[in-house]
Amino acid sequence: MKFLIKNVKLTDHRGSKISDLLIEDEIIKKIGKDLSAYEDSMVIDGTGKVLMPSFVDLHVHFRDPGYTYKEDIESGSRAALKGGYTICYAMANTKPVCDNMEIYNYIREKSKDLDLIDLYQNIAVTKNLSGKELTDFESFGDDVKFISDDGRGILSNHVMNQACLEAKKHNIGIMVHGEDPEISPYDYRLAEDIITLRDSYLSKITGAKIHFSHVSTRGSVEIIRDYKAQGANITCETTPHHIYLAGEDFRVNPPIREKADNEALIQGLKDGTIDCISTDHAPHSKEDKEKGAPGMVGLETAFATSYTALVDSGNLSLEKLSQVMAYNPAKILGLDHGEIKEGARADLVLVDCEEEYIVSQADIVSKSKNSPFIGRKLKGKVLMTFRKGRLMYGGKN
C-alpha cells in the first residue's frame, strides 16, 4: 500500500521542514512540496503534526522465555509500536538466561516470525548471570552486537577485565549495569558511580566498546564526560523516568534520583555526553510489583515523557530529541536509521506535539501496568507508527 502524508513537519536530527512525503514499496519514495499527483495513495493529512524517524530503544525486557505472564515478544512489540518504536534491544535476564545461541536464536526467530518490530537480543556476559564464568564468545553469531549482565552487573574486576578483552577481540560491545551490589544497601549513588568509573577506565585501557545503561547520577555523567574526553570507547543512555521524576519512591533500579541529577542528565543530553534515551521497559505483574520487583513499563509513554520534560520545557529542541531517540541509538547498533530521506526504509512515527493526555492504565497495551505515569498529564502523543512502509499502529490498522 502507498501512503501520502501531506503538509507535515518532517523532523530528524538535521532539521525540520514542512513537506509532503510518499511511502511506497517499504521505502520513502519521494519528498516534495506538492505531491498531489500521488493522491491515488492512502492520503494522511499531516497539517500541524510532526513526522519523525521511528524510535530506537537499546534497553527493553520482553520476558520471553520464562516470564511471559509479565510480557512476551508479541505484547512487548505491540507496546513498542504504540510508543513509536520499530527497533528494540532486549536484555538477557530471561528464564533460562539468554547465555547461549540456542536461546538467542529462539528469541530472534520468534520475533522475525511475528514481523512486528526489529528485535535485537543481548547475550549474557557470564553464564547464568553469575558474574563469575564468561559465556562462550567463540560461539556468538555475527549478528550479536552487545552482551550484558543487566539486572545484576559484574562485581569482579578480574571477570570484567577479561570480558573487556574478549569483547574487544570479537568486536562486541558490553552494555553495563552500573551497580556494585555490596554498596547498594547503604549508598545506591556510590554503587553506580564506582562501577561507572571502573568500566570507563577498563574501556580506556583495553579499547573495549562499553555502553552504560540507565545512567542516573550526576557523578556518573561527570565520569563519562571525562573519559569520553580522554578517548575511551564509551557511549551511554538515560531513561525518560530518570529525566522526568525526582525524589519519588516508585521502585526502579537504579532508583529515582534528585532534582540535581535531573539537571545533570539534561545537560549531558545537551552536550552529547549522554548519547541516547532508552526506556528500560521492565514489565512486572501486580503481584510481583507488590513484592518489591524493581522496574516499570516505559515504551508507550517514552516520547510524551521525554517531550514534556525536555522539549516543552525548553531544554532541548525537537531535532535533538529525534537524535537521541532515533539517530544516535541506531548508530550505536550500526544501523542506517534515523534520517528522513528518499530511499530510506519507511520506519516513521507521526506525532502530535500539542496534544495533552492523561495516562490511563486501560490504554496500556503491555501485559503489565507498572507505571508511575498512570494518572499524570503528559504532552505529545504518538498517532501512527510505520515499519517497512506498513502502518503498524494507528489509523484503521
What sections of the chain are H helices per DSSP? 73-82, 101-114, 157-169, 188-206, 218-229, 240-244, 259-271, 286-290, 302-306, 318-322, 328-332
Cβ(31)–Cβ(342) under 8 Å?
yes
Nearest residue to 234 (alpha-carbon basis) of 201, 265, 268, 280: 201
Sign, CA dihedral 257-263-269-273, equals negative
Annotated catalytic residue, options 261, 275, 280, 312 = 280
> Which backbone phi and psi does 234 adopt, to 5 degrees?
-125, 150
Following CA atoms 172, 299, 119, 168 in sequence, which dihedral angle do they give, to the nearest 10 degrees?
A: 0
Say how far apart CA 378 and CA 169 lie, in whole Å.
45
Q: Could you give the C-alpha distances from 199 to 30, 153, 161, 162, in angstroms and in order?
A: 45, 11, 9, 12
Cα angle value 360/262/253 (rounded, 5°): 65
Active site residue 363: no
Q: Cβ atoms within 10 A of the Cβ of 244, count?
A: 22
Q: Which residues contact 224 (CB under 8 A, 6 or more apart)?
A: 196, 200, 212, 215, 234, 236, 268, 273, 274
Say how far apart CA 195 and CA 254 lie, in whole Å.
13
Cα angle value 105/215/369 (rounded, 5°): 65
Catalytic residue numbers read: 280
